[in-house]
A and B are shown apart, each in its own frame.
Chain A
Amino acid sequence: MSSTAVCELCAGPPVAGHNFCEGCGRDLRGDADRWWRSSTAGPDPCPGCGGTEYSPDGYCEACGRRRNAGQDHVELAIGGIAAVTDKGRHKQRNEDAVAIGRVGDATIAVVCDGVSTSIRADEASHAGVDAAIAALGTALSGGEPPAQAIVAGTRAAAEAVARLATPETVASPPSCTFVAAVVTDSEVVVGWVGDSRAYWLADQPAESRRLTIDDSLAGQLAAAGVATEAGEGRDPRLTALARWLGADAEDTEPRIASFQPTGPGRVLVCSDGLHRYLSDPAKLAVTAPGAPADTARALNQLSLDAGGADNIAIAILPFPPVSPADPPVTAEEPTE
């Protein structure tokens, strides 16, 4: 399907018959009537041979090269919220994924971080965000409260990720972390499995705080007020993931947290590609003020400048949700 949509990100001119923005390369197909965006790659030509046919398991039918589920750098914007994901400086592919969307007045963001020791982790994270945001948005537009919608989204992601397990991946099936946030005009609700995080970045920086507790020993200890040694020398068992999504995962129900902000601010949803370098809520809040897209870009650049050791995924959701330039759409077809 060709598109004549103008790219929201770079405002590049549409080229009839092209599926990707000539300016920034993003997928323009179906954007006009879709209420969410994700960093999942479109069916790009194979980087190995230019072929366009892929087997269902993601290998180029001509040269056999595995396609990446994600892309090296993606910037997304919809309904007044923005997201950036980046491969970083040292990883061979981007195993972080992010999806953002807007249903009615509620804004949604989902970040999944592929577990690097699992096989085809990029497939896990991208399948995770896509399944989660679709299910979450559908639940919200069906009238479910945010917390239930997040549970529905997490379960959809857990199933989608578990389905990726194949005989070839039995040693360590595709796995990822999960964090989702729903922002309405009265509350912020987050749900997570693993160590990807959500932060409240208040316009009054001192009121900023972390909304999630890492599913790791260090995370649990910190939540209980026990400080653990940070940095390079820390015992790896402390930060080992206790929960994740994947065929070999046991507990995939999300932990849920919610609160009613007393003033304006932004919700940051991110992977450890950012919070490994900057994790203090107040510092995060003052580091990158501005429009959501600017904040997301700035925090991404900060992570890259600090070393870019891991993939990065960042989503910024203003509170209260701002009225975007384009009218909000529902999960159903627009009425107009």
Chain B
Amino acid sequence: MTQPSFEIEVHHNEYLPQGGQIVDAIITVSASGAGLPSAADGAVSTAEVIMVDCSGSMGYPITKLTEATRATQTAIDTLREGVPFAVVAGTHNAYLIYPPGGQIRMVPVNQRTRAEAKAAVSRLRADGGTAMSRWLDLANRLFASQPADIKHAILLTDGKNESESPADLDRVLGECEGRFICDSRGIGQGWIAEELMKISSTLLGAADGLEDPAELPAAFRAMTETAMGKAAADVALRIWTPASAKIRFLKQAFPQVEDLTGRRVEVSPRVGDYPTGAWGAESRDYHLSVEVSPAAIGDELLAARVSLVSHDQKLAERLVLAKWTDDVALSTRINPQVAHYTGQEEMAALLRDGVAAMQAGDDATATAKLGRARKIALESGHTDTAKLVERVAEVVDEPTGTIRLKKKEDVDSGIEEIIKVRSVKTTRVKRQVE
């Protein structure tokens, strides 16, 4: 498999004061578009499974099911010729609605299978409960027979995972981890942000919610197109740290916050891999924080060596250095990238906790946290997030950023889940003129 060319940039203040121990760096990883062998060239192989919620609630209102049907058909149209695919209908059970025949198998996209699959999708009916682990388990079994480099799934739901225990979902997610990538989308008012975020986080995809079912076809097209554009699979960040150092955390910081700290796979005592999934022509930022043992003024330390690997092949490498200085002007410099993402991480936590407080009836906490989150959003140019907060709160005083929660009846139902699922979406710092 041909690899796209990857580039790593490190943004940080490498100067530490005497006794300083914390090195924070933003690692920008970019897969370059120029000469990027895309999946469309057949350089990498892809397989696709679409899971559509067909629980009883999808029929109320019926637009949810009709738009889900249209969206699935759009996704099938977007699949590249030859890509193995399957469509799963999910309820309290999981049904392979295409390909037919009752065998666990996938078929390649061609004119005939496209038409057959779309026809099968048009016959979907809403009936039953919701047990997502069954859907994911079927997808996992379907992918198991596929040698594809990139295995991508879409999960669409309108409800809570109520026909099984959370432990069932956890167990199946554990089985699916590393086997395929899954993007998830919620529609309507009944889905739970935490559930979708857990699924997509574990399976290295993205979760989101849609307010209007009419947005579904476009969303499905975008997800499928992105999956078809992936050119490198199983890419991991490999991080070497010195013997006495400790990785405080490694988070993906852009396009969304994702804590990868616990995902470390030990390679050797000082080296660990963190999975990042599949890459197309895209750029992501990671926030690495390392605690090192302090050294003398003038000493220079390699705090981390960051490389990108795919199947043990090194794609790019950069160093994160630390230097101790008695020059306060140097050691107190704040790197704008580190400051920006530290703020974005704080904003994500405030949004999540603020909505949770709101749902628990703790208005004082909700007001404080959401007000602060909105302020950070505005300061970082994250107007979408500020607008989301304004859906649940009124601005009382703009200069201080004081807000007041709206009355329950004035808040669109389902908006809380949208705020939570989008809380992790971040913006990039505007390029500084240097």
Interface residues of A (CB under 8 A from B): 48-49, 55, 57, 59-60, 62-66, 92-93, 166-168
- Whether the pair B318, A168 counts as a contact (CB closer than 8 A) is yes
For B303, the closest partner residue in chain A by CB is: A64
B378 near A: Cβ within 8 Å?
no
Contacts of B300 in A (CB 8 A): 65-66
Partner of B297, one of A92, A166, A168: A92
CA distance A64 to B294 in the complex (A): 12
CA distance A93 to B241 in the complex (A): 24
For A48, the closest partner residue in chain B by CB is: B295
CA distance A7 to B319 in the complex (A): 39
For B323, the closest partner residue in chain A by CB is: A66
* Shortest Cβ gap from A164 to chain B (Å): 14
30 example contacts (A-B, Cβ-Cβ < 8 A) are as follows A48-B295, A48-B301, A49-B243, A55-B305, A57-B302, A57-B319, A59-B302, A59-B305, A59-B319, A60-B242, A60-B302, A62-B243, A63-B242, A63-B243, A63-B301, A64-B242, A64-B243, A64-B292, A64-B302, A65-B242, A65-B295, A65-B299, A65-B300, A65-B302, A66-B300, A66-B301, A66-B321, A93-B298, A166-B319, A168-B319
- Whether the pair B245, A64 counts as a contact (CB closer than 8 A) is yes
Q: Check A168/B321 contact, CB under 8 A, given A63-B243, A64-B245.
A: yes
B244 near A: Cβ within 8 Å?
yes
For B304, the closest partner residue in chain A by CB is: A64
Q: Check A167/B243 contact, CB under 8 A, given A65-B295, A93-B298.
A: no
Given contacts A66-B299, A166-B319, list 15 more A-B pairs with CB under 8 A.
Answer: A48-B299, A55-B305, A57-B302, A59-B302, A60-B242, A62-B242, A63-B301, A64-B242, A64-B302, A65-B242, A65-B299, A92-B298, A168-B318, A168-B319, A168-B321
Contacts of B318 in A (CB 8 A): 167-168
- Whether the pair A65, B301 counts as a contact (CB closer than 8 A) is yes
B72-100 vs A, Cβ < 8 Å mask (1 yes, 0 no)? 00000000000000000000000000000
Interface residues of B (CB under 8 A from A): 10, 241-245, 270, 292-293, 295, 297-303, 305, 318-319, 321
* Shortest Cβ gap from A212 to chain B (Å): 30
* Shortest Cβ gap from A248 to chain B (Å): 16
* Shortest Cβ gap from B302 to chain A (Å): 4
* Shortest Cβ gap from B295 to chain A (Å): 7
Contacts of B299 in A (CB 8 A): 48, 65-66, 92
CA distance A57 to B320 in the complex (A): 12
CA distance A166 to B316 in the complex (A): 13
CA distance A7 to B241 in the complex (A): 39
CA distance A167 to B270 in the complex (A): 23
Contacts of A62 in B (CB 8 A): 242-243, 270
CA distance A65 to B319 in the complex (A): 13
Contacts of A167 in B (CB 8 A): 318
For B293, the closest partner residue in chain A by CB is: A63
CA distance A49 to B295 in the complex (A): 11
Contacts of A65 in B (CB 8 A): 242, 295, 299-302
Contacts of A55 in B (CB 8 A): 302, 305
- Whether the pair A63, B244 counts as a contact (CB closer than 8 A) is yes
Contacts of A59 in B (CB 8 A): 301-302, 305, 319
Contacts of A93 in B (CB 8 A): 298
CA distance A246 to B319 in the complex (A): 20
For A61, the closest partner residue in chain B by CB is: B270
CA distance A167 to B321 in the complex (A): 12
* Shortest Cβ gap from A311 to chain B (Å): 13
8 closest residue pairs by CB, A with B? A92-B298, A64-B242, A59-B302, A64-B302, A66-B300, A63-B242, A64-B301, A62-B243
Contacts of B303 in A (CB 8 A): 64
Contacts of B10 in A (CB 8 A): 168
For A91, the closest partner residue in chain B by CB is: B298
* Shortest Cβ gap from B149 to chain A (Å): 29
CA distance A168 to B11 in the complex (A): 10
Contacts of B298 in A (CB 8 A): 92-93
Contacts of A64 in B (CB 8 A): 241-243, 245, 292, 301-303
- Whether the pair A66, B302 counts as a contact (CB closer than 8 A) is yes
* Shortest Cβ gap from B248 to chain A (Å): 16
CA distance A45 to B245 in the complex (A): 19
For B434, the closest partner residue in chain A by CB is: A171
Contacts of A60 in B (CB 8 A): 242, 302
- Counting chain A CB atoms within 10 Å of each CB, which of B10, B242, B244, B270 scores highest? B242
CA distance A92 to B245 in the complex (A): 23
For B243, the closest partner residue in chain A by CB is: A62
* Shortest Cβ gap from B311 to chain A (Å): 23
